[in-house]
Amino acid sequence: MSTSDTRADDGRPAGLAKPGALARLLAPVRPHLIACGVLSALSAAAGIVPYIAAAEIARIVLERPGGAQAAVWTWVGVGAAGAALWLILLVQSSRIGHYADAAILHDLRVRIVRHLGALPLGWFRATGSGRVKRAMTGDLEEMHEVIAHALGQLTGAATVIVVAMGYLFLVDVPMTLVALGVLALMGVCYRVSMRSMTSHMNRLIAAEGRISAASVEYADGIQVVKAFGTGGRVLSRFDDAVHEYAQAFAAWVAEVRYSSAATRLFGSEMAVLTAVTAAGLAFVSGGSLTVADLVAFLVVAVGLPTSILPAVSASQGVRKGRMGAAHIERLLSHAPLPEPEHPRPPDGHGVEFDRVTFSYDGVTNAVQEISAVCPPGRVTAIVGPSGAGKTTLTSLLPRFYDVTAGAIRIGGIDVREIPSAELLASMSLVFQDVALLRDSVAENIRIGRPGAGDHEVRQAAAAAHVHDVIERLPDGYDTLLDGGGGGLSGGERQRLTIARAILSGAPIVVLDEATAALDPDSEAAVQDALASLAVGKTVIVIAHRLHTIAGADQILVIDRGRLVERGSHAELLGLDGLYARMWAAQEGVPA
Ligand X SMILES: Nc1ncnc2c1ncn2[C@@H]1O[C@H](COP(=O)(O)OP(=O)(O)OP(=O)(O)O)[C@@H](O)[C@H]1O
Span near ligand X by CB under 6 A; candidates 242-250, 321-329, 341-349, 384-392:
384-392
Distance in Å, CB of 403 to ligand X, minimum? 14
Q: Residue 124 or residue 218: which is nearer to ligand X going by CB?
A: 124
Q: Tell me phi and psi for residue 563, to 5 degrees.
A: -80, 115
Does 585 interact with ligand X (rule: CB under 6 A)?
A: no
Q: Which residues pair with 356 in a beta bridge?
A: 370
50 touches 82 (CB < 8 A)? yes
In sequence order, what DSSP letters do the residues of 25-77 get, joined into one string? HTGGGHHHHHHHHHHHHHHHHHHHHHHHHHHHHHHHHHHSTT--HHHHHHHHH
Q: Residue 384 or residue 411: which is nearer to ligand X going by CB?
A: 384
Contacts of residue 19, Cβ cutoff 8 Å, sequence gap at least 6: none
Contacts of residue 340, Cβ cutoff 8 Å, sequence gap at least 6: 416, 417, 418, 419
Query: Among candidates 484, 347, 499, which has minimal Cα distance to 417?
Result: 347
Q: Residue 438 or residue 581: which is nearer to ligand X going by CB?
A: 581
Cα 90 to chain centroid distance, Å, stands at 32
Contact letters (x/-) for ligand X, 530-569, by CB under 6 A? ----------------------------------------
Does 97 interact with ligand X (rule: CB under 6 A)?
A: no
The CB density around residue 451, as the number of other CB atoms within 10 Å, is 6
Q: At what angle do helices 151-171 and 291-300 cross, to 10 degrees?
A: 180
Among 82, 384, 448, 507, binds ligand X (CB under 6 A): 384
Span near ligand X by CB under 6 A; candidates 93-101, 315-323, 386-394, 529-537:
386-394
Distance in Å, CB of 575 to ligand X, minimum? 20
Contact letters (x/-) for ligand X, 363-382, by CB under 6 A? ---x----------------
Contact letters (x/-) for ligand X, 392-431, by CB under 6 A? x---------------------------------------
Distance in Å, CB of 3 to ligand X, minimum? 16
Helix (H, G, I), strand (E, B) or coil at 120: coil
Distance in Å, CB of 366 to ligand X, minimum? 4
Helix (H, G, I), strand (E, B) or coil at 354: strand
In sequence order, what DSSP letters do the residues of 534-549 get, joined into one string? HTTSEEEEE-SSGGGG
Q: Residue 272 or residue 366: which is nearer to ligand X going by CB?
A: 366
What's the chain's Rg over C-alpha atoms? 35
Cα 488 to chain centroid distance, Å, stands at 31
Distance in Å, CB of 332 to ligand X, minimum? 22
Q: At what angle do helices 69-118 and 151-171 cross, to 10 degrees?
A: 150
194 touches 313 (CB < 8 A)? no
DSSP code at position 340: P
Among 123, 124, 249, 360, binds ligand X (CB under 6 A): 360
Distance in Å, CB of 549 to ligand X, minimum? 14
Q: Residue 154 or residue 356: which is nearer to ligand X going by CB?
A: 356
Q: Residue 56 or residue 512: which is nearer to ligand X going by CB?
A: 512
For the chain, give percent helix, strand, coil, nearest 5: 65, 10, 25
Element (H, E) at 379: strand 379-383
Distance in Å, CB of 381 to ligand X, minimum? 13
Footprint of ligand X on residues 105-134 (CB under 6 A)?
Answer: 125-126
Distance in Å, CB of 425 to ligand X, minimum? 24
Task: Count residues binding ligand X (CB under 6 A).
Answer: 12
Contact letters (x/-) for ligand X, 302-341, by CB under 6 A? ----------------------------------------
Among 66, 386, 450, 451, binds ligand X (CB under 6 A): 386
Distance in Å, CB of 363 to ligand X, minimum? 10
Q: Residue 417 or residue 559: which is nearer to ligand X going by CB?
A: 559
Among 32, 330, 390, 493, binds ligand X (CB under 6 A): 390
412 Ramachandran zone, left/alpha/beta (phi>0; psi -120 to 50) = left
Q: Residue 285 or residue 386: which is nearer to ligand X going by CB?
A: 386
Q: Using CB under 6 A as the criterion, which residues of the chain lie in contact with ligand X when the complex forms?
A: 125-126, 360, 366, 384, 386-392
